A and B are shown apart, each in its own frame.
Chain A
Amino acid sequence: MRTNIKIWQFIVGICAIIFLVRVVEIYNSIELFLKFLKLLFFVDTSATIDHLNFMLIDNFISAIFIISLPVFIYFKRKRIKLIQEKLNITSAVILVLIAFFIFAPIISETNPDFEKNLNMTKLLPPLSEVKVLSLVKEENAQQDELWQFLKLKDEVIKNSFDESIIFVDSVKSGSEVTYYQKGIATQIDSAKVKYVGNKPLVHKEIFLLGTDELGRDIFSRLIYGARISLFVGFASVIITMILGLSLGFFAGFSGGFIDSALSRFTDMLLAFPVIFLIVLILALFGNSLISVIIVLGFSGWMSLFKIVRGEVISMKEKEYFISAKMIGLSNYRLLVKEVMPVIAASIVVNLVFQYGNVILAEAALSFLGLGTGSNYPSWGQMIEAGQNYLTSAWWMIFFPGIILFITLFAANDLGKKINSYYNPRIQSW
């Protein structure tokens, strides 16, 4: 399916939508960034650096990107040919996923691990609303610039806990504030509650895609899960590429014993269902984000190896290759200058398919409980958790399942498109 929208228009559109919906957060983030720079360079460098962490940098980057990216794309649109193409479903899906990847802290309203008042928030269906009672935060007496920065940081960075809000069914105010949670009344000192006029401040929070069994917001878990999936896929595909290219070149170029030994080794790995090997290594040596990336990267190089090796062997006889060797190019330059341009197309196709495979494998591993661990939300893990609540909470499985399927579909389709672009004789549907 084709539309008349160009890719650059779509990118600018996504950024504009995110910008409009989250304009307050973006404004706060930018302000935080400016304050941070001011503190860093003019006030107290070491104390500021102490407060620097991954989430802060993440927030800065996404806030800067969401403003600069559309501007950059708009002014450079005539120079970059790729973004002049017409948009289709595959590229739209990929662009949205990349937007999730970069802008996760801005798109998601809550931390993916945020849990509070379990009895109020667990297993809520999509689009359900919960009332939130806000409490007064304890104020520090000393109010210098660093304190102001930290206060703003608390507002911008979403933490996995928040003492200053309570999810409630209803609130009654008198001399003491009484709030009800599933019929249980609790009383709280009215000095602790934020007031608007003479009523306690109560606002509504919407869970767009519902919550899971621990009251965590599924929407933000999906977005952060996209990060994990894309990151794991990208990192392990790079490992695969390095391994497949160098081993394939090495085997094809040197021939003889090394070639046959490496080929036998590849056959050995291909003779056995690789998933068992992956599970074996992860179960024995422990599973974490890094080990999953490494194991998946090391388990996928076989097909690339075969492609590269075959090409190099047939290339060794060609005149241009022999003459390049005679001139005295080093092995590395031979690989980069002579081999790579010829096989670039098939490598790219292979790696795109491999990317889909890795994302699938990561989800399957998480499903088996051997994934990236519970520190990071992942789609497979969400599906696995949702299995137990199939009768009561279909949304726990439905949304991650759909997004996983769409991602895999887009990856397969992209591979096919690139393939038919480079080999026009192959029919594509």
Chain B
Amino acid sequence: MHKEHYMKNETLKVLLKRVVSSLIVLFLLITFIFILLRISPGDPTDKFISPKLSPHLLAHVRDSFNLNSTIWDQYESFVVNLCKGDFGISYNYRMPVFTVVLEYLRFTLIFSIISFAIQIGFGFLLAIISVQKINGTVDRIFSRLSLVIYAVPSFVIGVFLIYLFSVSLKILPSSGLSSFDSADYSFLQSFFDYAKHMVLPLMTLSLGGIAVFYKYLRDNLEETYNKPFVLNFRANGVDERTILLKHIIPNAIGPLIAVAGVELGLLFGGALITEVIFALPGMGRLTINAILSRDYPLVVGCTFVSGVLVILSNLAADLLKAKIDKRLVKRILN
């Protein structure tokens, strides 16, 4: 009883330490980006100003963007606002940054969670299938295929899929989130419409991830199969199914969780290439457009949100790992 309590306290301590250090890292990152934005050449007010504008109005525009004061003053007010949870107003959208980000974040969250589930699910399934007979025909085909798919850049996959399914076979739409006349659709129809639009982007985004997870898990499973305790189980007459489900998988899954955490974080940051190819309204494209149009508050807001999501997903992975393997808590603490 006492020991349980002790463990819990320890876990909490580790957790707190992680959260604090992550927040510091995040703050440093935002500061880094803030400074980078201010010292870069170019002026965000350029495209809001016409040459006919009077100097008085011009100063007013710059003033409204809070770009007239020194960098240090700007940074000070930025930090103060940040502590209040205010990221400022986006230059382009003329809305609070948070509202804009939330709109795009919704799509990214749904999209990346589905893709993540596909990656993990298929990777897991294929690894289990191929590990049934190591170095068998299926195993070899899958392994080779995973190496090939891993090497194909996602934009090549995306363009190839568009060529195959949209241009040649004409069965799936090539871009956007819904059809142009989707407003009249009933609920079921619009659901299928969304699904249809999501097939190609999800394939583009997930194929590489499936290959990575498959390779990782397959190697781990094989390594675990070669360990002496498996031989012991077999000698004692435990059936293969029980060995796989109860002993091999829990032992092999540890390193996978860390990889999965990193992958989920990357997905939350926005699948930049996929969103660009398929013209999807996600965080990746929002960030890029904000950078290209020098929408300073929006860039910082996007960075903050994806940074938080990255940290959260890494944290979740660590917690899950610690739950499976209690020894890890101590290792992190030391």
A-side residues, CB < 8 A to B, are: 264-265, 267-268, 271-273, 275-276, 279-281, 283-286, 360, 363-364, 367-368, 380, 383, 386-387, 390-391, 394, 397, 401, 404-405, 408-409, 412-413, 427, 429
Partner of B147, one of A279, A391, A412: A412
- When the two chains form their complex, are residues B291 and A279 in contact, meaning their CB atoms are under 8 A apart? yes
The CA of A280 and the CA of B28, in the complex, are separated in Å by 16
Partner of A368, one of B148, B156, B265, B288: B288
9 contacts between A and B (CB under 8 A): A265-B28, A271-B307, A272-B307, A273-B310, A283-B291, A285-B41, A364-B155, A383-B156, A390-B162
Interface of chain B: mostly helix, strand, loop or mixed: helix
Interface residues of B in 282-317 (CB under 8 A from A): 287-288, 291-292, 294, 299, 303, 306-307, 310-311, 314
Per-residue interface assignment for chain B, residues 156 to 181, with 1 indicating a CB less than 8 Å from any chain A CB and 0 otherwise: 10011011000100000000000000
Per-residue interface assignment for chain B, residues 27 to 65, with 1 indicating a CB less than 8 Å from any chain A CB and 0 otherwise: 011001100110011100000000000000000000000
- When the two chains form their complex, are residues A397 and B269 in contact, meaning their CB atoms are under 8 A apart? no
Partner of A390, one of B40, B159, B273, B288: B159
Q: Which residues of A contact B41 (CB under 8 A)?
A: 284-286
Q: Using a Cβ–Cβ cut-off of 8 Å, how many residues does chain B contribute to the interface with A? A: 52
Q: Which residues of A contact B147 (CB under 8 A)?
A: 409, 412-413, 429
Across the two chains, which residue of chain A brings its CB closest to B28?
A268
Question: What distance in Å separates the Cβ of A364 from its nearest Cβ neighbour in chain B?
Answer: 6
- When the two chains form their complex, are residues B151 and A280 in contact, meaning their CB atoms are under 8 A apart? no
- When the two chains form their complex, are residues B276 and A368 in contact, meaning their CB atoms are under 8 A apart? yes
Whether a CB of chain A sits under 8 angstroms from the CB of B14 is no
Partner of A405, one of B156, B273, B292: B156
The CA of A409 and the CA of B150, in the complex, are separated in Å by 8
Chain B CB count within 10 A is highest, among A273, A383, A408, for A273
Whether a CB of chain A sits under 8 angstroms from the CB of B22 is yes
- When the two chains form their complex, are residues A273 and B159 in contact, meaning their CB atoms are under 8 A apart? no
The CA of A280 and the CA of B155, in the complex, are separated in Å by 20
B-side residues, CB < 8 A to A, are: 21-22, 24-26, 28-29, 32-33, 36-37, 40-42, 140, 143-144, 147-148, 150-153, 155-156, 159-160, 162-163, 167, 219, 222, 265-266, 269-270, 272-273, 276-277, 287-288, 291-292, 294, 299, 303, 306-307, 310-311, 314
Question: What distance in Å separates the Cβ of B314 from its nearest Cβ neighbour in chain A?
Answer: 8
Question: What distance in Å separates the Cβ of A315 from its nearest Cβ neighbour in chain B?
Answer: 20
- When the two chains form their complex, are residues B163 and A397 in contact, meaning their CB atoms are under 8 A apart? yes
Question: What distance in Å separates the Cβ of B224 from its nearest Cβ neighbour in chain A?
Answer: 13
- When the two chains form their complex, are residues B222 and A427 in contact, meaning their CB atoms are under 8 A apart? yes
Across the two chains, which residue of chain B brings its CB closest to A369?
B292
The CA of A196 and the CA of B148, in the complex, are separated in Å by 53
The CA of A92 and the CA of B191, in the complex, are separated in Å by 49
Q: Which residues of B contact A360 (CB under 8 A)?
A: 153
The CA of A265 and the CA of B40, in the complex, are separated in Å by 21
Partner of A412, one of B151, B153, B311: B151
Q: Known interface pairs A280-B291, A412-B147, A412-B151. Does A401 touch B311 (Cβ–Cβ under 8 Å)? A: no
Interface of chain A: mostly helix, strand, loop or mixed: helix
Other than the given A380-B155, A383-B156, 4 more pairs (CB < 8 A) read A265-B28, A271-B307, A273-B265, A273-B270
Q: Which residues of A contact B269 (CB under 8 A)?
A: 272-273, 276
Q: Which residues of A contact B25 (CB under 8 A)?
A: 264, 267-268, 271
Partner of A271, one of B148, B151, B270, B311: B311
Q: Known interface pairs A267-B25, A284-B37. Does A367 touch B273 (Cβ–Cβ under 8 Å)? A: yes
Across the two chains, which residue of chain A brings its CB closest to B134?
A427
Q: Which residues of B contact A273 (CB under 8 A)?
A: 265-266, 269-270, 306, 310
Q: Which residues of A contact B33 (CB under 8 A)?
A: 280
Across the two chains, which residue of chain B brings its CB closest to A367?
B155
Question: What distance in Å separates the Cβ of B221 from its nearest Cβ neighbour in chain A?
Answer: 12
Q: Known interface pairs A273-B266, A280-B33. Does A285 touch B150 (Cβ–Cβ under 8 Å)? A: no
- When the two chains form their complex, are residues B40 and A284 in contact, meaning their CB atoms are under 8 A apart? yes
- When the two chains form their complex, are residues A275 and B272 in contact, meaning their CB atoms are under 8 A apart? yes
Across the two chains, which residue of chain B brings its CB closest to A426?
B219
Q: Known interface pairs A273-B310, A401-B160, A405-B156. Does A390 touch B167 (Cβ–Cβ under 8 Å)? A: yes
Q: Known interface pairs A285-B41, A391-B167, A408-B153. Does A383 touch B159 (Cβ–Cβ under 8 Å)? A: yes
Chain B CB count within 10 A is highest, among A265, A272, A275, for A272
Q: Which residues of B contact A386 (CB under 8 A)?
A: 159
Q: Known interface pairs A271-B22, A285-B40, A429-B147. Does A405 touch B152 (Cβ–Cβ under 8 Å)? A: yes
Q: Which residues of A contact B307 (CB under 8 A)?
A: 271-272
The CA of A265 and the CA of B28, in the complex, are separated in Å by 9
